[in-house]
Amino acid sequence: MQIVFLFYDGMTALDAVGPHEILCRLPGAKVYRAALHPGEIQTDSHLVLKAEISLSDISHADVLLIPGAGNATSLSKQPEILKWIRSIHATTKWTTSVCTGSLILGAAGILSGLKATTHWAAFERLKAWGAHPTHLRVVEDGKVMTSAGVSAGIDMALILTEKIAGTQFAQSLQLGIEYDPNPPFDVGSPEKANPDILKGLKARMVARFENLE
């Protein structure tokens, strides 16, 4: 069970670390944190993660996970990464993304004709890649599983764990990380948010994604 996380400068740490905490515990899992240039990866919160292996040293994955980035850089400037994603996707049992990681899958041509999701502020952007944006926290279409913003990767990883290792094992992992969420507010999605807060955040966030090349 080879599980590969794509790491890249500007990525959102929690997008990767949430699912990582779960998927690394899959039976027989061999987990790789891979980047175009291995070494220190600067996340968008200034936390530094390490990628131990080069993309060129990974030729297949059972599970591929692409995290998102709060300030997505131009996707068209990452042709080597997109090409690598396409080649690995051809070998996967599951190709997955968290948050705006789905924009990267889209740019790689993987979401054409598929139902998919992303961070709510990047939702419309998915259409440009031929995807059918779908308002669910986790969206599965064939072997492609995409999840909503940042924290949704935890839910996705548990769903994926159930598919790979069964219900009992997935429940054991959920109990292990004591995932019995109790957010202080019920405002974590656009539908539930205070309209003024949503408007303010939207004004700041949507522009980051809508003109992405």
Residues that bind a second copy (CB under 8 A): 12-14, 17-18, 20-21, 24-25, 31, 33, 40, 45-50, 52, 99, 119-120, 137-138, 148-152, 154-155, 158-159, 162, 167-168, 170-172, 174-190, 192-194, 197-198, 200-201, 205
Whether 24 sits among the annotated catalytic residues: the reply is no
Q: How many residues does the chain have?
A: 213
Using CA atoms, how far residue 61 sits from 28, 57, 86, 150, in Å, is 13, 12, 12, 22
Whole-number Å distance between alpha carbons of 88 and 110: 11
Which residue intervals of 24-151 are DSSP H helices?
A: 79-89, 101-107
Helix 13-23 vs helix 152-165: crossing angle, to nearest 10: 20
Q: Residue 85 CA to chain centroid, in angstroms?
A: 13
Residue 34: CB atoms within 10 A of its CB come to 22
Report residue 77 as tokens.
């400037």
Output the smallest distance, CB 60 to a second copy, in A: 20
Main-chain phi, psi angles of 115, to 5 degrees = -75, 140
Q: Of these residues, 65, 99, 103, 138, which one is catalytic?
A: 99
Comparison of 7 and 82: residue with beta carbon closer to a second copy: 7
User: Which residues are known to be catalytic?
Assistant: 99
